[in-house]
Chain A
Amino acid sequence: MDIVKLTIDNTPVVVEKGTTVLEAAKTVGVDIPTLCYMKLDDMEFENKPGGCRVCVVEVEGRRNLAPSCKTECEDGMVVNTHSVRVVNARRTVMELILSDHPFECLVCAKSGKCDLQSLAQDLGIREIHYQGEKSHYKSDHSPAIIREMDKCIMCRRCETACNDVQTVGTLSAIYRGFNSVVAPAFEMDLDHTNCTFCGQCVAVCPTGALIERDHTWKVMDAIIDPKKTVIVQTAPAVRAALGEEFGLEPGTLVTGKMVSALRKIGFDYVFDTDFAADLTILEEGTELLGRLSKFLAGDKEVKLPILTSCCPAWVNFFEHHFPEMKEIPSTAKSPQQMFGAIAKTYFADQLKIKREDLVVVSVMPCLAKKYEASRDEFAVNGDPDVNISITTRELAQMIKNANLKFTELPDDDFDRPMGESTGAGVIFGTTGGVIEAAVRTAYELHTGKELDRVDFKELRGMEGIRSATLDFDGLPINIGIAHGLGNARKLLEDIKAGKSQFHAIEIMACPGGCIGGGGQPYHHGDVTVLKKRQKAIYEEDAGKTIRKSHENPYIKKLYEEFLGEPCGHKSHELLHTSYFDKKKKIEI
């Protein structure tokens, strides 16, 4: 290993060759401020266009200040990170950026979580010496994501997320100089593009330029309407991250407090998407076994590998980018939509109310869920199965609006029947979880034997693409897992090229799975937060008495009383869907 020796702020530093000054400084406790720079460690993605110049440092013997994020350490280098020249330059740069930024901080959705705002505070900017024209660009209000590009500082983090991490390719910098802005092709609104609404651009945006569409007031309107019964479902990943909005450590499970808060906010019934996740497993697991037994019987037409279909951004991704493979994913709806379909039929019947008078709200770690809920095929006579989908961040806002001291709330439990869930339902929130849950059920259904262990550690982890072969009583089952759409693309291309030998593949669009969703509390580039949330999810699973979906007593009851059998006639009608070719056709 080649090493280099240098001095940073009079402190000797020894680092590996190739290390940047920014990274080297961290090793000796010097935290150089950055703005456009973002490093997603585990995913090995970096955004360092070197454009904002906030991280400049003075290198002895060099005429110009150097951006520390892009400057590699050299032997004998003498670096000063806070000389008068550096501090002045940094303030000038910051004032120039701020001079072209709307002063709307008091009413901005990102206020308090904005990297630009906190940097201005850290640098102690109290006055902006530059005044001039401000750039203006039309805003874009899609069903899930809102783009307020007047607030864009051209850090290009969203481009890194969209193009490099997710390989979706919706966003690009366009025009030049003062007019430049990040936009989709032909400056179309997001809902007319190939955007998957994964929300990873929102997750990394340092300012309020990219935010979610806020539906909290729609929820409140429904709650105060005396004619409506309002029920809520909460996705597994929400409970592992919500606490962060109230100052709790990442990875703190707040399931009980969350249920308390939802009840106090005024929901009539507080249910769990985990229940629907268990239901998904019964349907998807049965579908997998069905395809597998046909395959083993020599059916050449059968579509394998089966791909999971719980993640709406992933569904959008293959509809736009791989429409020729739209027959491969499971036809099972996502847990959010299964919940909606059952709530508006089975549960509305129990309450003896019309489906239109039942409002289904979902709390999701996700922005694509907002889009998914608005898809035409998930509505009956114009009444959507899921009326309103809000994010973890929006729920935190509602809790604050309700004057609740979240950290001091007592623990409460979900309502029955749709609040009962197993450990298998919980782990849907992390990469590897859906397939582990499916394996727990598929194994027992296929072999007729009880599993002697329910933890499939070989399916867990944070690597972008993972695989494992499981023994189904003599039958080897090859499982693939990908999270992050860039990794999903690699796997899909392998399948297309006939290189993949998997029977089943789990895909989640966001890095880490739903725990890293676009609707979760902002991680500000610190991906260790995702690992802590993942740990919390597995803790919740381990603490559950029932850990296999098919053993959920209320799911059994649902089949007995209402659905019949998994993948049966009624299931197909309510719980399965089909996919569309959304690839743009070029007319000639």
Chain B
Amino acid sequence: MADIKLPANKVQELRDICAKFNHEKGELINVLHAAQGIFGYLPAEVQDIVAEELNVSVAHVYGVVTFYSFFTMTPKGKYPISICMGTACYVRGAEKVLDEFKRLLDLKVGETSANGDFSISCLRCVGACGLAPVVTVGEKVYGRVAPEDVKGIIAEYK
């Protein structure tokens, strides 16, 4: 396991959230959701804290984290790239766009580049189907993306 140190203020924030949920075992998914919001991902140390606060086994927490694809144990990149795979985007060629991102960055879905700059994930519909296929980088939305645009998008962040 990676020996990472969590920032104390964020850990306190997490503990406060557990307290807000009354340390209820049944709130595990909500707590993990909030934890991922705080840390960006769910490293082992965060799962240890959640297990301790809710008095459940860390194996159980890990079971839930690995069950739901929303939860991730890998930190997202500084510029998280998401490609919409919703129906509209998909039929308009989102997969080819995704393949191009994967090829140019040499990453798989769910991975983060070694320098921590980029990560690739897929999502379902950002509510901009008129602009399909849609790509988001952080908060910025790119519409009508073609595979040949991908190189330019990446270049903006390099």
Contacts and interface: CB of A to CB of B under 8 A. Distances in A.
Contacts of A171: 59
Given A174-B62, A586-B49, 17 more contacts: A163-B57, A169-B56, A171-B59, A172-B59, A175-B66, A176-B67, A185-B47, A185-B58, A185-B59, A185-B61, A186-B1, A186-B58, A584-B48, A587-B3, A588-B5, A588-B6, A588-B8
B63 A173 contact: yes
14 contacts: A163-B57, A168-B57, A169-B57, A170-B59, A171-B59, A172-B57, A174-B67, A183-B59, A185-B47, A186-B62, A584-B48, A586-B48, A588-B5, A588-B8
Contacts, number: 53
Q: Which 7 A-B pairs have the closest CB atoms?
A: A169-B57, A172-B59, A172-B63, A185-B58, A185-B59, A185-B62, A174-B66
Nearest to B51: A185
Interface in A165-200: 168-176, 183-186, 188, 193
A184 B59 contact: yes
Contacts of B57: 163, 168-170, 172, 185
Interface residues of B, number: 22
Nearest to B11: A588
Chain B at the A interface: mostly helix, strand, loop or mixed? helix
B78 to A, nearest CB: 24
A587 B4 CA distance: 8
A193 B3 CA distance: 16
B25 to A, nearest CB: 12
Contacts of A169: 56-60
B61 A587 contact: no
Nearest to A163: B57
B100 interface: no
Interface of A: 163, 168-176, 183-186, 188, 193, 584, 586-588
Nearest to B56: A169
B44 A186 contact: yes
Contacts of B56: 169
Contacts of A176: 66-67
A380 B8 CA distance: 43
A185 B62 CA distance: 6
A413 B63 CA distance: 52
Interface in B23-68: 44-45, 47-49, 52, 56-63, 66-67
A174 B63 contact: yes
Interface centre among A168, A172, A173, A587 (most CB of B within 10 A): A172
A586 B53 CA distance: 12
A184 B58 CA distance: 8
Contacts of B8: 588
Interface string B105-148: 00000000000000000000000000000000000000000000
